Amino acid sequence: MDHPPHEFDAVASALAADGWCLFHGLLDAAQTRALGDECLAMHDARLLQPARVGSGRTASSLRGDSTRWFVDDALSGPQRLFVARLDALRGALNRTLMLGLVDCESHYAVYPPGAGYARHLDCLRGNDARVLSAVFYLNDRWLDTDGGALRLYLASGPHDVHPHAGCLLLFLSARFEHEVLPATRDRMSIAGWMRQRAFPARG
């Protein structure tokens, strides 16, 4: 699949102006479906683990999803394609916005019916590495009435992003609080972060 040289220009412009954006051209439908099928198969095989929060990776009632991190030297075919595309986006944003992003981290996330994630920021305490949060949705034939929106808290008020397959949500990790609202069916996504080099806190 060929990609135009300036395909991410609109993403960079939206992030520069607003700090967040939606993008629908990261992967095609078949590539997205392959990731969704793999995520569901891993979930059914109980290969995802209950999610934890903070740098201490502690269990918490704040979130109800299960996750499986992508491991660089053990990526599946669908994962390799996703990682390559996200890295291409990272490079484009570095060239345009001078963000100093050095790498990406990603994991599958599955929320069972009724589960959510309370309002929070994606920055870990004492660690400023995460610059951009990225959520890529894998839910085929999702209806808005199924719930599961990510509620992004903007200066203008809350804005709900519904988890439709193939949609990529990007936002500044340290700027926007957000929460995941409960859904009536399993909700699948890839959560990722584009990171800068972290420096120890002074003092």
Q: What is the pLDDT of residues 167-182, one digit of tens each?
A: 999 999 999 999 999 9
Q: What is the mean pLDDT of residues 184-196?
A: 97
Q: For helices 9-18 and 77-97, what crossing angle results, to 10°?
A: 60
Domains of the chain: 9-196 (2.60.120.620)
**pLDDT attached to residue 203:** 40
Count of Cβ atoms closer than 10 Å to residue 60 Cβ: 13
* Predicted confidence band of residue 52 (pLDDT cuts 50, 70, 90): confident
- Which residues, 6 or more positions from 133, have their beta carbon under 8 angstroms from its beta carbon? 122, 169, 170, 171, 172, 173, 176, 191, 192, 193
- Which residues, 6 or more positions from 143, have their beta carbon under 8 angstroms from its beta carbon? none
**pLDDT attached to residue 1:** 60
Distance (Å, rounded) from C-alpha 117 to C-alpha 64? 6
Distance (Å, rounded) from C-alpha 95 to C-alpha 82? 20
**pLDDT attached to residue 90:** 98
Min mean pLDDT across 4-8, 13-17, 48-52, 88-92 is at 4-8
**pLDDT attached to residue 60:** 67
**pLDDT attached to residue 202:** 46
**pLDDT attached to residue 73:** 96
Q: Give yes or no for a contact between 129 and 105, defined as CB atoms under 8 angstroms apart.
A: no
H/E stretch holding 194 reads: strand 187-196
Phi and psi torsions of 157, nearest 5°: 125, 175
Retrieve residue 38's tokens: 């793999």
Q: Is the pLDDT of residue 151 over 50?
A: yes
| More confident site: 159 or 123 | 159
Phi and psi torsions of 162, nearest 5°: -85, 145
pTM: 0.93
User: For 120-135, what is each residue's pLDDT tens digit?
Assistant: 999 877 778 999 999 9
